[in-house]
Amino acid sequence: MEDPPVTPQTCELAGLTWREQVRRIHTEAQTFYFAFKHPAVPWYAKLVAACTAGYLFSPIQLIPSFIPVIGLLDDVLILLLGVRLLQRMIPVDILSECREQAKSAEMQRKDAGTSTAAVIAFLAIAMLWLFAAISVSKLIATYIPSDCVIQNGTRHAWHNRSSQRCVVAFSLVGAQRERTS
């Protein structure tokens, strides 16, 4: 059997690290985003882009994504076919213009970095969430006396130690009911 033809794209990806490949894929995704918004791109190319993205985010798929390997394989196949079709449908000059826009957007993102205000806001929200979680759990422990029993496949005797009525909820997974005649 013959080796597959070597194209500039396969040569470019062959020597790159995973991080560089991910960066390149991200840049290509931005390129197609800018192409999708470009007024000179034909409507059918926009339709292919929308259908490709729609399939990837849709809960209805040919092979469900939770099936190991095969489930994600159809997503990758649809993505590759969509990208190849878009590369053929979009005029070369528009595609190169959109690539330049994507590269400049990436440079702006690198230059912007993470602002101090964003870090302070994140820390403030995290502290508020932590304070709320601790306060609520203390309130529940103080005002609602209860026992929590976690049972997994064992026989367990539980009794109510208080003088109040209690409610017990069960979830039987995979249980079968015995039929008595």
Residue 10's pLDDT band (boundaries 50, 70, 90)?
A: very low
What pLDDT does residue 139 have? 76
What pLDDT does residue 127 have? 93
CB-based contacts of 162, cutoff 8 Å, min separation 6: 145
Q: Using the predicted structure, report yes or no on whether residue 3 has a pLDDT greater than 70.
A: no
**pLDDT (tens digit per residue) in 70-115:** 888 888 888 889 889 998 999 999 999 999 999 898 888 776 666 7
**pLDDT (tens digit per residue) in 132-148:** 888 877 777 677 665 55
CB-based contacts of 51, cutoff 8 Å, min separation 6: 82
Counting other chains too, the contacts that 156-165 makes at CB distance below 8 Å and 24 or more residues apart are none
CB 31 within 8 A of CB 99: yes
Cα distances (Å, whole numbers) of residue 1 to 4, 8, 9, 10, 132: 9, 22, 22, 19, 65
